[in-house]
Chains A and B, each alone.
Chain A
């Protein structure tokens, strides 16, 4: 009877897969919180759609994590039976939805990174990751387009929407540095041709943001200080509450089938 949390051995490949999977799951979870509360019906549908894509990506990646781990785990073991400290998502995706501007800015900042990342990962030496990334990239391209269009509307909309968008951008900007971090685990999978080097995507990221922020008449924050910790399991206070929700039933009924 699985009553406790799992702690799979942290090989570089598993670490790398879980970082991508956890990003997708936590962002999908956040977006799903909007369902039924969006500013308009069309956006209820769009945000649910992006959330569904994210959960789908997480499931494919957790499936592969189970294969890499080789210990007979399932996708749900990774999602429902790890403590917050074992999650490897970046801090950006766990930030609260805030107002619609914060959700959109978070999405642009993440999608502008993950879309080119998946595009590069589609050429991975690892056939499974390449296949997952090729499928995911079609989805993230849409996520970027959709959120960037909204950011332009908000930035170049009313005075209020512009102020809200700029405030969200200022608030979330310090979480973008983590997207480009490379530690020993990442370096190992990069060297093996399994994953792209995120540092190589930084210029494209800057260019995307410059174009979008330009049209949105928003100012890229000047601060250079970047938050860090998520990739090593040191999270913000928010993740504990996300997991309290997400894992509640599995924790309350250990070993049950749903």
Chain B
């Protein structure tokens, strides 16, 4: 579902020697000329590391993101909604698979990357550390979380790294479908009984601020945006994307007849933007530090699923080896 600027610092790798410097210069010239970098092309180690981290965090987010939404599959209130939600969560798994494959083109295996997640060494989007308490949360996730994800990911379709850019084109198409589906759930609730509308309002109240945090820390604190911008991994700053999201989303929420949980939210006629109140960055830092409402639960579920599936993966390997052995034995016997 989602990628996020998580504000981790890269160790700066010193450029060694004039030859390396010339290579880096040629590399930057290709980026400046809007050429796509492909897996077999030379690339600076820091570029490889930045992308591996970003793509794998994105993949982990898809996988962890299956949990809060999966929480409502068995309780979806109609067969149509059940089928749509199942298909949506299945799409997230597909995005995860696709993104791990993109990360693998940079030289890290899926197993390594998953191990990093399970060991707590890799991050995933902070948003999935919030609980889905009612059915309206499924609508709110589609509308707001996927909406925020799209804002972030559309520029990534033009990312300098080819496999990631191509993955994003496909992912964005599916995310916009999810976003419309989520909004439609919200619309149905808002046109429904008073209890349903209250459910929708409560979901907006709980998801709005965490969704604004999805764009990452404010530009004044963002630590690796400059390099990512030069490499054309990142095309817009966190604050620019956040503002775009607010501008697109506020009219949608008003159309639903819902109130945003921000007394400072006001339209700035002159600038043509919706101005919003101060974000509680301490909450964001706490969620990233592992103290969100569901961090431990999500990681426990992932670790449990991984551990419970170990014997299955071993069986599949053992069977594949047996088959290969038999296949080798046949010509020898003949």
Contacts and interface: CB of A to CB of B under 8 A. Distances in A.
Interface of A: 25, 29, 32-33, 35-45, 48-49, 51-52, 55-56, 58-59, 62, 75-76, 79-80, 99-100, 152-154, 156-158, 160-161, 164, 242, 245-246, 248-250, 253, 256-258
A32 B319 CA distance: 27
B77 A100 contact: no
Please classify the interface of chain A as helix (H, G, I), strand (E, B), loop, or mixed, using the class held by over half of its residues: helix
Contact of A154 (B70, B191, B315): B315
Nearest to A30: B74
A153 B318 CA distance: 8
Contacts of A164: 311
B333 interface: no
Please list the 10 inter-chain residue pairs (A to B) with the smallest Cβ-Cβ separation, ordered nearest first: A39-B309, A157-B315, A161-B315, A39-B312, A258-B77, A249-B77, A36-B66, A48-B90, A36-B70, A153-B319
Interface of B: 63, 66-67, 70, 73-83, 86-87, 89-90, 93-94, 96-97, 100, 135, 188, 191-193, 195-196, 301, 304-305, 308-316, 318-319, 322
B308 A39 contact: yes
Contacts of A246: 74-75
A253 B66 contact: no
A143 to B, nearest CB: 15
Contact of B305 (A36, A156, A258): A36
Given A36-B305, A256-B196, A158 B82 contact: no
A258 B315 contact: no
A99 B309 CA distance: 9
B196 A253 contact: yes
Contact of B73 (A32, A75, A253): A32
B183 to A, nearest CB: 15
A256 B86 contact: no
B112 to A, nearest CB: 15
Given A45-B93, A249-B77, A258 B312 contact: no
A51 B301 CA distance: 21
B313 A39 contact: yes
B82 A32 contact: yes
22 contacts: A25-B79, A29-B74, A35-B70, A35-B73, A36-B70, A41-B96, A41-B97, A44-B66, A45-B93, A51-B86, A52-B86, A55-B79, A76-B78, A100-B308, A100-B312, A153-B316, A154-B312, A160-B315, A245-B74, A250-B78, A258-B135, A258-B192
